[in-house]
């Protein structure tokens, strides 16, 4: 199976896990959820304006990425190390797929990396981010991140 198919399957499994919240929102509410996620991505993650995080993240925000502490404070602590940049009018790199179902928004991203077996070559791969939005705020986030290795000793 391709990595894209596996990511889509993982996204569907996560949707099923939180299935009680699916289908309870109108199309208009789902579109508002997508706007919250895309604006958050553009303003906070791309432009590093963590001062805007409370505009998008619930205080009790649940983070499933193993490298970032859960909660709004954990998010701000992790992402504050990146200097703010001008906020772009639109995302410089758009997701290749967007899925909305109930209070969930899933983004699939296309990437290219150096082939570890032959650094003169590159290969394509995908990642995903899924958000649960309620009351106009991101309540929960899942992604395909794995634990980062510890920083080398100095």
Distance CA 154, CA 138 (A): 37
Per-residue pLDDT of the chain (154 residues; tens, 9 = 90+): 555 545 555 555 555 444 444 556 888 899 999 999 999 999 999 999 999 999 999 999 999 999 999 999 999 999 999 999 999 999 999 999 999 999 999 999 999 999 999 999 999 999 999 999 999 999 999 998 888 877 788 7
The CA distances from residue 91 to 70, 102, 133, in Å, are 25, 24, 20
**Extents of the domains making up the chain:** 3-143
Q: What fold does the segment set 3-143 form as a domain?
A: Nuclear Transport Factor 2; Chain: A, (3.10.450)
Whole-model pTM: value is 0.79
Cα–Cα distance between 148 and 105 in angstroms, integer? 25
CB-CB contact of 105 with 130 (8 Å) = yes
Phi, psi of 43 (to 5 degrees): -80, -40
Token digits of residue 13: 């499994």
């Amino acid at each position: 199976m391709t990595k894209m198919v596996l990511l889509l399957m993982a996204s569907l499994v996560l949707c099923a896990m939180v299935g009680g919240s699916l289908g309870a929102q109108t199309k208009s509410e789902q579109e508002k959820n997508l706007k919250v996620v895309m604006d958050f991505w553009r303003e906070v993650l791309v432009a590093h304006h963590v001062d805007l995080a409370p505009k998008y993240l619930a205080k009790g925000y649940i983070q499933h990425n193993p490298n970032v502490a859960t909660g709004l404070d954990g998010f701000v602590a992790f992402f504050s190390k990146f200097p703010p940049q001008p906020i772009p009018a639109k995302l410089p790199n758009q997701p290749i797929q967007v899925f909305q179902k109930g209070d969930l928004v899933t983004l699939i991203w296309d990437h290219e990396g150096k082939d570890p077996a032959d650094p003169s070559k590159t290969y394509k791969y995908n990642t995903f981010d899924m958000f649960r939005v309620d009351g106009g705020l991101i309540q929960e986030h899942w992604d395909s991140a794995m634990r980062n290795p510890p920083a080398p000793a100095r």
